[in-house]
A = this chain, B = another copy of it.
Amino acid sequence: MTPSTLDALIEALRCLPGVGPKSAQRMAYHLLQRDQRGAARLAAALGQAIEVLRHCARCNTFTELEVCERCANPQRDHRLLCVVEMPADLAMMEQTHAYKGLYFVLMGRMSPLDGIGPRELKLDRLVERATDGVVEEVILATNFTNEGEVTAHTVSELLGARGLKVSRIARGVPVGGEIEHTDIGTIAQALIERRSV
């Protein structure tokens, strides 16, 4: 007897991470009852994002352009390439104002237990990017979790074998912590104290 349109909305909301059946129901009622404008805005934003956003051909982050503004900016130091897991990490690095180089966003991390290895993470694209002849140093700023460390180790082996200088931001970031949730001062310190690996 429940209307199928409502069921479809509740079911569709469950594609959001961390949203179970009860939360999805609550969200659907909230949107329909109290925030139809928000729902319309969300529908439009989703459609627009799917339509317009793509991965930057150089740094792999989300952008509307073929090459994002940051990668196209001659003011940045193109000899430095900082590798991060997610765009949120990149945003935190930028907020430190302690780094003027470029980035490569992995859009994930190695997770052998989940079957995410170098191939699934498409590390060959990072290798290709880092060996463009301009990059001199690759700074690894993956998280200091087990998975982030495995990722950093794998990347350093791959790039070190190709004669690139590879460094890791200093362990000023608390062990087991995540960059996204670290204070800016700690990240700035970790950038300065990066060590060769």
Interface residues as binary, A1-27 with B (CB distance below 8 Å gives 1, 0 otherwise) = 111111011011101111000110111
A12 with B29: in contact, given A1-B69, A53-B3 (CB under 8 Å)? Answer: no
Most buried by B among A28, A45, A68: A45
CB distance from A187 to the nearest CB of B (A): 16
The answer to whether A185 has its CB under 8 Å from any CB of chain B is no
For the residues of A in contact with B, the DSSP-based class is helix
The answer to whether A99 has its CB under 8 Å from any CB of chain B is no
**Cα distance A2–B94 in the bound complex, in angstroms:** 10
Q: Which of A34-42, A127-135, A139-147, A157-165 contacts B (4 or more CB under 8 A)?
A: A34-42
User: CB distance B31 to A26 under 8 Å?
Assistant: no
User: CB distance A62 to B3 under 8 Å?
Assistant: yes
User: CB distance A8 to B48 under 8 Å?
Assistant: yes
Tally of chain A residues near chain B (CB < 8 A)? 57
CB distance from A52 to the nearest CB of B (A): 5
The answer to whether A43 has its CB under 8 Å from any CB of chain B is yes
A45 with B88: in contact, given A50-B36, A50-B40 (CB under 8 Å)? Answer: no
Q: Closest residue of chain B to A25, judged by CB? A: B88
A positions within 8 Å CB-CB of B: 1-6, 8-9, 11-13, 15-18, 22-23, 25-33, 35-36, 38-50, 52-53, 62-64, 68-70, 86-88, 91, 94, 107-108, 180
Kindly list the 9 A-B residue pairs having the minimum CB-CB distance in the complex, ordered from nearest: A15-B38, A12-B45, A43-B46, A12-B42, A9-B45, A9-B49, A43-B43, A17-B30, A43-B47
23 chain-A/chain-B pairs, Cβ below 8 angstroms: A1-B70, A1-B94, A2-B91, A3-B64, A5-B45, A5-B49, A6-B53, A8-B48, A9-B45, A9-B48, A12-B42, A12-B45, A16-B42, A17-B30, A18-B23, A22-B180, A25-B88, A26-B88, A32-B50, A32-B53, A33-B108, A39-B49, A46-B46
